[in-house]
A and B are shown apart, each in its own frame.
Chain A
Amino acid sequence: MSDLPDTGPAPETAPPSRWKTAWDSDIAYSFRQSPVAVIAAIVTLILILSAVFAPWIATTNPFDPASLNLMNGFSPPGVPNQFTGETFLLGTDDQGRDVFSTILYGMRISLFVGFMAVLFAMVLGVGLGLLAGYVGGWTETIIMRVADIQLTLPSILVALLIFGIARGVIPIEYRDQVAIWVLILAIGLSDWVQFARVVRGATLVEKNKEYVQAARLIGRSSWAIMFKHILPNVLSPVLVIATISLALAIIAEATLSFLGVGAPPTQPSLGTLIRIGQDFLFSGEWWILFFPAVTLLALALSVNLLGDWLRDALNPRLR
């Protein structure tokens, strides 16, 4: 690891490349100085990549019935497939599905729901926060009162309620098909408040600065001022909240799926796998539960640590 202290202006040569500027920036420096952040980033990256490239990494496609054989059911880790001789690295579940492969595919669902839910919460929260902070008046009162009320209820409860209502509205034959999207909606709606509060606070500060007054004077519209001028200046706390929210959303998804109200059995996420594994804990087949649980923990913990580091790095006052 090279040591590059920040030493004022660079020597008068050719302008540094983008890559060099990024490498020399404060945030990259603080990243290199923090072993926890580096390890967390590596773990997160490995997990995300293995989820994205699951079809190429997984030894079998666990959802292709042709690849399954009940005779292989309940194989402990390391036992070879009775037909092809391939080793089941992490064992198999009751239906003879390779646990390693189901984890990879399950992680895809978990990450997809997590990312989409945070994206949804972010767009909603940032939009409403900007609106509340910039417009003020009744708009602000209503938005922030709703936020306050929602904040008093734990987000898992809000997500459960939204999930329940959505199930009531959607006809029974479509429920499994749209379950993932309902999950994203429920987790996203339970999580927008943090974004809205922070963005509103930052907007209230930015609104009175000279660049905003200047933009207003030259006659730019409110929308343009909010989204083109103020938004870029309030984004850094949003990034921090988004990272921490991602960890929370992954856990929320796992919890809902574990409770049996999340991802359907046809599209099992890590939480669904843990739910399935719990049934076999008493009979001694611990690996069906253990490996998905460890993966979930590694994922949530490393994203969380990354978020913590980002918060400290972007906010020097906290150091």
Chain B
Amino acid sequence: MLAYIIRRAFQSVIVLLAVGLVAFSMFRFVGDPIEQLLGQERTVQDVERLREALGLNDPFIVQYASFLGRALQGDFGISYRQSRPVADIILERAPATLELAFVSGFLALTLGIALGVFTALRRDGWAANIIMSASLIGVSLPTFLIGILLIYVFGVQLQWLPTFGRGEVVDLGWWTTGFLTASGLKSLILPSITLGLFQMTLIMRLVRSEMLEVLRQDYVRFARARGLSARAVNFRHALKNTMIPVITVTGLQLGAIIAFAIITETVFQWPGVGLLFINAVQFVDIPVMAAYLMLISVMFVLINLIVDVLYVWVDPRLRIDGRHA
């Protein structure tokens, strides 16, 4: 088990080094940093002095190492567009995205599992059939259209819910939260449904098919024969065993939620990291793009690592394979 974790962690570090190389190359080769820093009036001496000061004359590998060192300390450079440290901007925007992702993930997981169990148990009922057909539409609608549809129905026609921004937020010093005000909570509803809908349908369909598979197994039949209540059989015996694939998929989808937040944040003008990234792409703000790339890969790699370890931990059968593979 320990050897497995160490090997996976080692692979993750290599992946991160590769991503860091991509981010560093963006800095180094896309646009000349000297051009960005010095204005029109410059002398050859100025350029040379700045090159030396910034370490641009050092060998590639030395520059790369110092870039990684600075990134590890949270120094991602200065945004070309806002002329402020990228780390500050991202820290300021992160709570918005994390709160949105948390609510969406929570909705997707709870509703997804509940609906999945429901549709599996009442397989031929009319309600289950309607839910299943609706989920097909949910999977094929692009995220941004779902958002626009919700805005039109609940924002424009019914005028129940706000359609952009976070509403009033409470500043806790290092964190701003929309959870504590009525307008903040109302503002969260539409974006989090938009963001979580795809993951919800995915988890629902997965839980349903796994449940149907498990309910056919002998041990479930045996549990019924022992006279256990339907509730105990369905939830204590059956649902428990559908959780292994659900853990994997949920873990991997967690990353997808953060990535798709880019689209949702644009539709709802949500002031999070995703909107920051889209603006960076539009205005070619390389430091912001590079920082976002590195942060998101660290997150993806960590999630993958945790999921893999969790997987082996939950399913003892894999432990033996894990050691020899």
If over half of B's interface residues share one DSSP class (helix, strand or loop), that class is named, otherwise mixed; here it is helix
Least distance between A254 CB and chain B CB atoms (Å): 6
Q: With A251-B142, A274-B148, A289-B148 as given contacts, are A156 and B259 in contact (CB-CB < 8 Å)? A: yes
Q: Chain A residues with Cβ under 8 A from B284's Cβ? A: 164, 167-168
Q: Chain A residues with Cβ under 8 A from B296's Cβ? A: 153, 157
Q: Chain B residues with Cβ under 8 A from A259's Cβ? A: 144, 262-263, 266, 278
Which residues of A, 182-239, contact B by the 8 Å Cβ criterion? none
Stretch from A2-10, A12-20, A107-115, A293-301 that touches the partner = A293-301
Q: What residue of chain B has the Cβ atom nearest to residue A168's Cβ? A: B30
Q: With A260-B278, A278-B148, A300-B140 as given contacts, are A157 and B259 in contact (CB-CB < 8 Å)? A: yes
Q: Chain B residues with Cβ under 8 A from A149's Cβ? A: 15, 18-19
Least distance between A161 CB and chain B CB atoms (Å): 6
Q: Chain B residues with Cβ under 8 A from A289's Cβ? A: 148
Are the CB atoms of A258 and B144 closer together than 8 Å? yes
Q: Chain A residues with Cβ under 8 A from B278's Cβ? A: 160, 259-261
Which residues of A, 267-286, contact B by the 8 Å Cβ criterion? 274, 278, 281-282, 286
Which residues of A, 8-67, contact B by the 8 Å Cβ criterion? none
Instruction: Tell me whether A266 is interfacial, beta carbon within 8 Å.
Output: no
Q: Chain A residues with Cβ under 8 A from B151's Cβ? A: 281
Q: Chain B residues with Cβ under 8 A from A282's Cβ? A: 156
Alpha-carbon gap, A293 to B148, bound state (A): 10
Least distance between B196 CB and chain A CB atoms (Å): 15
Are the CB atoms of A168 and B286 closer together than 8 Å? yes
Q: With A157-B259, A261-B282 as given contacts, are A286 and B152 in contact (CB-CB < 8 Å)? A: yes
Instruction: Tell me whether A81 is interfacial, beta carbon within 8 Å.
Output: no
Instruction: Tell me whether A87 is interfacial, beta carbon within 8 Å.
Output: no
Least distance between A100 CB and chain B CB atoms (Å): 20
Which residues of B, 152-209, contact A by the 8 Å Cβ criterion? 152, 156
Instruction: Tell me whether A165 is interfacial, beta carbon within 8 Å.
Output: yes
Task: Enumerate the 7 nearest inter-chain pairs by beta-carbon distance, A residue then B residue, closest first.
Answer: A168-B30, A164-B281, A154-B259, A157-B259, A168-B284, A251-B142, A258-B144
Which residues of B are at the interface with A, using a C-beta cutoff of 8 A?
15, 18-19, 26, 30-31, 140-145, 148, 151-152, 156, 252, 255-256, 259-260, 262-263, 266-267, 277-278, 280-282, 284, 286, 289, 293, 296-297, 300-301, 304
Which residues of A are at the interface with B, using a C-beta cutoff of 8 A?
149, 152-154, 156-157, 160-161, 163-165, 167-169, 251, 254-255, 258-261, 274, 278, 281-282, 286, 289, 293, 296-297, 300-301, 304
Question: 8 more A-B contacts (CB under 8 A) besides A156-B263, A297-B141?
Answer: A152-B300, A165-B289, A167-B281, A168-B30, A168-B286, A261-B278, A300-B140, A301-B140
9 CB < 8 A contacts A-B: A152-B304, A153-B259, A154-B255, A161-B293, A165-B289, A167-B284, A260-B266, A281-B156, A293-B145
